[in-house]
Structure 1
């Protein structure tokens, strides 16, 4: 597949100038973030316009999380979180990331503390949602 690559929608807000080649910019970002590279991934220029080249059908599976049984949601969340963390870890220089994280447990403790606080907030939000539905303040279709 050949797809035209245009300037990033974020560029004007980040003060970023035009890329030397928009297709190359997109491809570089994809290579950094993807766990498995597309062997056909590349870029080209046609009549002065920038394009990215990629595999048309990746034939990779996908999961519709809404169809998962309740006892598999946590596994799905753990897996997607690990994949997201892996992608982010590949987006920076490992030495820079290691320097930022430090050699003690402060970052681990901060992330764990945030996770617990966020889980508590999620439970409070859910209780508030249930209360709003039960009181009729928020219409909802139940029993689906």
Structure 2
């Protein structure tokens, strides 16, 4: 079962993630100082809840996570990506992209769509690369 996990960076630098869907018997949240820590916290809770439900004789669903990031959490999680280069590839002003990724300015839906297209293009190129 596919579920959507949303990441959000807090103004204090912390990060949270949560499951958008309502499922019987549980919901998922994660918190940490980074998106990686929040994801690990949420996955730990998922495994603990699954174990608890199994002990109760229930059959918990296997979840397939789809992750949704705000700009700041995306570039923190994928910190190996060069923000300016991704911006150029997406057709977004690099200076403006740095403001998006730092949380100073919020991007509109059009900018998110440009970024998503560029990231998918990068992912496809990486998937076809060989050594």
**TM range, normalised to the smaller chain?**
under 0.3
Which protein is bigger by CA-based radius of gyration?
1
Answer 1 or 2: which has greater strand percent: 2
TM-score by length of 1: 0.24
TM-score by length of 2: 0.26
